[in-house]
Amino acid sequence: MTLGHLDVVRRARNLYDEVVVAVLINPNKTGLFTPEERVALIEADVDDLDGVSVMTFEAQLLVDVCRTTGAGAIVKGLRGETDYAYELPMAVMNRHLAGIETLFLPSDPEFAQVSSSLLKEVARYGGDVSRFVTPAVAEALRERLGKD
């Protein structure tokens, strides 16, 4: 989780009594961290936020996760036009499939150009990503990538 993600979760929590961070397990991707490790890192990052929980899901539609959890909306952070172009068709489909609305929150300009894949690449080559992630995530990246 980047600080941009955490910012979106905090802002969503200001809008809703409960926020569920749903972590997709994509069997077609090999992540740097296991789903269990990702959940543990996110839980540590949101530990101070009452009403925020973390769960994983796979092989189902996000609207089905919303139905299961009772969520009335999906909150997505947008860094710019590319994110919007990618997310808009999904938001429309989710509304058609299940009546679930999507709320787009614009990224804080400080994090607008930061992506998880970019940070992983920088960290992989020994770059300092600590201003873009929490200390726990920075440490986990250093340990996983063997960069001290």
Predicted confidence band at 148 (pLDDT cuts at 50, 70, 90)? Answer: low
**Range 3-145 has CATH code 3.40.718.10:** no
Q: What is the pLDDT of residues 57-78, one digit of tens each?
A: 998 999 999 999 999 999 999 9
What's 35's DSSP letter? H
DSSP result, 57-93:
E-SS-HHHHHHHHT--EEEEEE-SHHHHHHHHHHHHH
Among 108, 145, 110, smallest CA distance to 126 is for 145
Mean of all residue pLDDT scores within the chain: 94
* Catalytic choice (10, 13, 53, 116): 116
Amino acid 124 reads R
Per the annotation, the verdict on 5 as an active-site residue is yes
- Determine the number of helices (DSSP H) and then strands (DSSP E) in the chain: 6, 4
The domain spans of the chain are 3-145
Per the annotation, the verdict on 116 as an active-site residue is yes
- Per the CB < 8 A criterion, the answer to whether 8 and 106 are in contact is no
